[in-house]
Every structure is written in C-alpha cells, then in structure tokens.
Amino acid sequence: MADLALSLMVLCAVVMSVAAFFAFRRGDKKQGGLMLVLAVVLALNVAIWTIPGPDEASLSQAGAAAD
C-alpha cells in the first residue's frame, strides 16, 4: 500500500510541475508558484519516506521481509 501512495505522490509532483510551467507561461505567477511549492513538498515527502534511517530497513527490504 505504501508503494501505491508513493507512486501517486511522485505522479502528482510531476503533474503539478508541468501545470506550474503552463501557469507561468499564461502569466499567472502566484498560482504557478504555489503549484511549484506543492510539487517540492510532495517530492520532499517522498524522499523522507523512502530514505531509510540509521536502524531501519528501506521499504523494498521491508516488503521483501514480509513476503
């Protein structure tokens, strides 16, 4: 289930980055900036969830251990 959530978050970050690019091109700088901030927040959340801590296994290792 965590893999699905992370995949959706990465997909949303990419879509928000593309949408921010088009908003900037259209001249709507405030909305484009907010979309870009949201994309960065999503990407940072994915990074936090996937980087293992000093005493934790990564998600792929935890999934392999559960099987």
1, part of any domain: no
55, part of any domain: no
Does residue 58 register a pLDDT over 80? Answer: no
Give the orientation angle of helix 2-26 with respect to helix 59-66, to 10 degrees.
Answer: 150
- Summarize pLDDT for 1-53 with one digit per residue, the tens: 888 999 999 999 999 999 999 999 999 999 999 999 999 999 999 999 888 77
59, part of any domain: no
60, part of any domain: no
pLDDT given at position 15: 96
67, part of any domain: no
18, part of any domain: yes
Name the residue range of residue 28's domain: 8-47
Q: What is the tally of structural domains in the chain?
A: 1
22, part of any domain: yes
Contact residues for 50 (Cβ-Cβ < 8 A; gap 6+): 6, 58, 59
Which pTM does this prediction carry? 0.72
25, part of any domain: yes
